[in-house]
Amino acid sequence: MKLKKIETKAKYPIRSPEENVIRLDSNIHDYQNLGKVDERLKEADGKPEIQDKIRETATYTLSKVLLQMHSRGDPIEEIALRLVEFVDYAEYLRKETPDAAFISNMVTADDCGKWVICLLLAPDEETLLKLRGLVQIEDNKRLYAFDVLLKAFWPDWEVAKKYHRRVKYIKAWSDAFTKAMASDDREASLDRYMQKYERLVKPFWPFKWKPWRNFKPWYSPEGTEIYGNAYHQFAFEVALAVCAYDLDDEALRKHQYYPHELVDYYRKNIRHTRDAWREEGVGPGIPIKAPAAPKKINLVKSKSKNFKRWLELVGDGDPDATASVIATFGNQIRSFKEPQAIFEELSDNSIGICVDVKDDEALESALRLFIESRDLKGYQPPETENPGGFARCEELLEHARQFLNKTPYSLHLIDLKTDSIGAVVVRDEFEDEFLPMTNRFLY
Calculate ∠ Cα 164-55-159, nearest 5°.
Answer: 25
pLDDT mean across residues, the chain:
85
Tell me what pLDDT residue 293 has.
Answer: 73
Model-wide pTM > 0.85:
no
Helix axes of 48-72 and 109-121: crossing angle, nearest 10 degrees: 80
Tell me what pLDDT residue 27 has.
Answer: 43
Domain limits of the chain? 17-269, 306-442
- The widest CA-to-CA distance across the chain, in whole angstroms, is 79
- β-partners of residue 225 are 219
Q: What are the pLDDT digits (tens) for 380-437?
A: 888 876 667 888 899 999 999 999 999 999 999 998 888 999 999 999 999 999 999 9
- The C-alpha atoms of residue 2 and residue 89 are separated, in whole angstroms, by 8
Model confidence at 175: pLDDT above 70? yes
Tell me what pLDDT residue 219 has.
Answer: 58
Max avg pLDDT among 34-48, 53-67, 234-248, 284-298: 234-248
Identify the residue with better confidence: 102 or 216: 102
Average pLDDT over residues 109-135: 94
Model confidence at 297: pLDDT above 80? yes
Q: How confident is the model at residue 84 (pLDDT cuts 50, 70, 90)?
A: very high
Answer yes or no: are the C-beta atoms of 325 and 311 closer than 8 Å.
yes
Average pLDDT over residues 35-45: 85
- Of how many residues is the chain composed? 443
Q: What are the pLDDT digits (tens) for 338-380?
A: 889 899 888 877 889 999 998 888 898 888 878 877 888 888 8
- The C-alpha atoms of residue 35 and residue 6 are separated, in whole angstroms, by 7
Q: How confident is the model at residue 50 (pLDDT cuts 50, 70, 90)?
A: very high
CA distances (Å), origin 322, targets 201, 313, 327: 17, 9, 9
